[in-house]
């Protein structure tokens, strides 16, 4: 793994660009604190996860590479693609060629509540046009950073349809950003068995009740006791130890 000043400077600049931090004063309604915590829905930036969660992703990718934890990186629910763009930039900057970045999204926004998951009945996320980002737009965003190549695999469709056959045998980083109970449960059910020991599960929207309920139900059903670690006001993660 490369760990030189130039590599770290590139990755820091990449984060600043994805989060639009360099030009924050030109983004309507943006504040430094909200962008730090990922509390705003950016008009321009390519990610809404904020600096703290982006730094957390960077830290966990460093850990799996340094400790040779095998597997690909995946995000479920990518919006404009910023976190996945950073994943791809990280792998390229470190010369890692044997891992893919899987980009899973409907590219049509969030699903309507599924009667099979009554807890989601009050969800209005499917009405939010702002959350609908098309596949061509996300591809274009990758291209803007010169990071669209054969190391990026797009999985278009609802998680329940795409994740059971996701083209990966092992996962080192699973970053779940599905907001709802159904989306979170579909991702955990289909991906967690592939997460390598020593790999990480990141839950972006743990502060949302639907999402947290799915996390707790899944962990209880599978006797997962690995501690949940708080990232910021919204996100948590855990390391798979067995």
Query: Per DSSP, what are the bridge partners of residue 236?
Result: 203, 230
Among 165, 180, 173, CA closest to 100: 173
Cα Rg of the chain, angstroms: 17
Question: What gap in Å lies between CA 59 and CA 54, rounded to an integer?
Answer: 9
Average pLDDT over residues 120-131: 92
Question: What gap in Å lies between CA 14 and CA 3, rounded to an integer?
Answer: 16
Two tokens, residue 54: 């982006």
Determine the distance from the C-alpha atom of residue 111 to the mean position of all C-alpha atoms in its chain, rounded to a whole number: 18
What pLDDT score was predicted for residue 4? 84
DSSP string, 37-81: HT-S--SS-S--SHHHHHHHHHHHHHHHHHTT---EEEEE--TTS
Phi, psi of 56 (to 5 degrees): -65, -45
- Asked if residue 2 has pLDDT above 70, the reply is no
Q: Express each pLDDT in 186-208 by its tens digit.
A: 999 999 999 999 999 999 999 99
Percent of the chain scoring above 90 in pLDDT: 96
Q: Express each pLDDT in 137-153 by its tens digit.
A: 999 999 999 999 999 99
Q: Which position has the token pair 């629910």?
A: 77
Which structural domains are found in the chain, ordered by start?
65-239 (3.40.50.150)
What pLDDT score was predicted for residue 1? 63
The arrangement of strands across the sheet holding 236-239 comes to: 152-156, 101-105, 72-76, 171-176, 195-203, 236-239, 229-230
pLDDT, averaged across the chain: 96
Q: Cβ contacts of residue 146 below 8 Å, gap of 6+? A: none
* Element housing 196 (H / E): strand 195-203
What pLDDT score was predicted for residue 229? 98
Q: Express each pLDDT in 61-116 by its tens digit.
A: 999 999 999 999 999 999 999 999 999 999 999 999 999 999 999 999 999 998 88
Question: What gap in Å lies between CA 208 and CA 213, rounded to an integer?
Answer: 9
């Amino acid at each position: 793994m490369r760990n030189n000043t130039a590599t770290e400077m590139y990755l820091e600049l990449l984060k600043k660009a994805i989060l639009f931090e360099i030009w924050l004063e030109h983004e309507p309604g943006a504040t430094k604190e909200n962008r730090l915590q990922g509390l705003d829905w950016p008009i321009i930036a390519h990610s809404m996860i904020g600096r703290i969660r982006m730094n957390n992703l960077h830290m966990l990718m460093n850990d799996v590479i340094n400790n040779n934890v095998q597997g690909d990186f995946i995000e479920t629910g990518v919006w404009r693609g910023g976190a996945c763009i950073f994943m791809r930039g990280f792998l390229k900057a470190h010369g890692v060629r044997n891992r893919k970045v899987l980009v899973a999204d409907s590219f049509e926004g969030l699903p309507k509540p599924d009667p099979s998951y009554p807890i989601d009945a009050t969800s209005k996320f499917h009405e939010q046009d702002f959350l609908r980002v098309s596949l061509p737009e996300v591809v274009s965003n990758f291209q803007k950073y010169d990071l669209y190549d054969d190391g990026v695999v797009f999985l278009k469709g609802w998680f329940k349809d795409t994740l059971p056959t996701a083209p990966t045998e092992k996962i080192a980083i699973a970053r779940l950003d599905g907001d709802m109970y159904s989306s979170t449960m579909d991702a955990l059910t289909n991906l967690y068995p592939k997460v390598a020991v020593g790999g990480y599960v990141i839950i972006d929207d743990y502060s949302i009740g639907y999402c947290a309920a799915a996390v707790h139900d899944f962990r209880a059903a599978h006797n997962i006791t690995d501690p949940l670690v708080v990232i910021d006001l919204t996100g948590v993660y855990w390391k798979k130890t067995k």
